[in-house]
Amino acid sequence: MFNKNYKLTDKTVWKGRTDSKSNFDAFRWHQWVESMDLRNDNLSPYEGELGFAFIGFCCDEGIKRNKGRGGATKGPISIKKELANLPCCFTRDVKLFDAGNILCENCTLEESQKLLSKAVAKILDLNLFPIVLGGGHEVAFGHYNGILDYLKQKEDKPNIGIINFDAHFDLRPYPNGGSSGSMFRQIADQCKEEDLEYAYLCLGIQKHRNTIDLFKTAEGLGAQYILAKDIINYDDFSIVEKLDDFMKLRDYFYITICSDVFSSAFAPGVSATQPFGLEPERVLKFLKYILRSNKVISFDIAEVSPRFDQDNTTANLAAVLIFSVINTLAQMNNLDL
């Protein structure tokens, strides 16, 4: 099932300050995370109350195809290093696993995306919540298919809603293969072929980053969106109303964040920086609101590029967002401290 392009994370990535070796209240994530090898056929489903598995997608081939700035290949390791020193703000009933990394070396983008889909499906089979770390935003196509493959074991036509925080629609045509700018069009085409409902909402769209044709494509596909300027200028209730209208019709949600949705003041280490992007606290409000729907099945964050980062600012932002995802779900299950 998994080949040489799947590797476990080097143990030296998970290291940091240790205040106590016995007092869980003083633990940090590097003291709590456990390695998990998805190649092990003897893994059994997690029977605890709440478990998460981090899987890296060390690839930026889609960015290169999209004529963007490469460098996101090292994003997953950079994010994991920032995760290592986060405090454990949950009970011992919340487990963290590092399920390794998918590499895009000596293989095609499509092969690495297929490998990721298998990894995501297996993590879900193990009763764990996948947190996928990019890598370019082409991670979304493999991630979505892993969710779809898993849900197809349970029902014929899963009703999956995609909520994307992004400055770009990523609905470009792909005559020469997929890229980091085409995933949600690929998913739309796949849904049409398989007679599945296509439900896509993108928050943070920038007019200066998308052509008129892309806006028309979104309209033609029935994709929904909220402009970045509207998120900045509208009150929270107006945005929540639009989220509610979208969420009430779906059974499951896959949340994906492209780091270029944020202002470059907060996320300088991305392929395409946004001087007028969103502030993290604004995004965090809506992210938590979506999580509290109790319909979110998986999460990823993409386009963290250490090559262009400053003092690990972007990787640190990604880590804090993941921290919020885990703590929000822990709170919902009364597993927070």
Mean pLDDT, residues 44-59 taken together: 97
Number of structural domains (the chain) is: 1
Considering the domain boundaries, does residue 17 fall inside one? yes
Cβ count within 10 A of residue 47: 7
Considering the domain boundaries, does residue 27 fall inside one? yes
Considering the domain boundaries, does residue 337 fall inside one? no
pLDDT band at 63 (very low <50, low <70, confident <90, very high): very high
- Give the separation between CA 105 and CA 275, rounded to whole angstroms: 33
- CB within 8 Å of 110: residues ≥ 6 apart: 177, 178
The answer to whether residue 325 scores a pLDDT higher than 80 is: yes
For 67, which DSSP code?
Answer: T
Considering the domain boundaries, does residue 134 fall inside one? yes
Q: Give me the pLDDT at residue 3, please.
A: 81
Considering the domain boundaries, does residue 215 fall inside one? yes
Q: Give me the pLDDT at residue 2, please.
A: 82
- Give the separation between CA 102 and CA 5, rounded to whole angstroms: 6
Mean pLDDT, residues 119-131 taken together: 98
Q: Give me the pLDDT at residue 121, please.
A: 98
Q: Give me the pLDDT at residue 280, please.
A: 98
The answer to whether residue 49 scores a pLDDT higher than 80 is: yes
Considering the domain boundaries, does residue 121 fall inside one? yes
Considering the domain boundaries, does residue 70 fall inside one? yes
- Give the separation between CA 278 and CA 315, rounded to whole angstroms: 16
pLDDT band at 41 (very low <50, low <70, confident <90, very high): very high
pLDDT digit string (tens) for 75-117?
Answer: 999 999 999 999 999 999 999 999 999 999 999 999 999 999 9
For residue 35, give the CATH number of its domain.
Answer: 3.40.800.10
- Give the separation between CA 184 and CA 162, rounded to whole angstroms: 9
The answer to whether residue 62 scores a pLDDT higher than 90 is: yes
pLDDT digit string (tens) for 228-269?
Answer: 999 999 999 999 999 999 999 999 999 999 999 999 999 999
Average pLDDT across the chain, whole number: 97
Radius of gyration of the chain (CA): 19
Considering the domain boundaries, does residue 1 fall inside one? no
pTM for the whole structure: 0.97
The answer to whether residue 1 scores a pLDDT higher than 80 is: no
Q: Give me the pLDDT at residue 166, please.
A: 98
Per the structure, the complete domain to which residue 316 belongs is given by 6-332
Q: Give me the pLDDT at residue 210, please.
A: 98
Q: Give me the pLDDT at residue 116, please.
A: 98
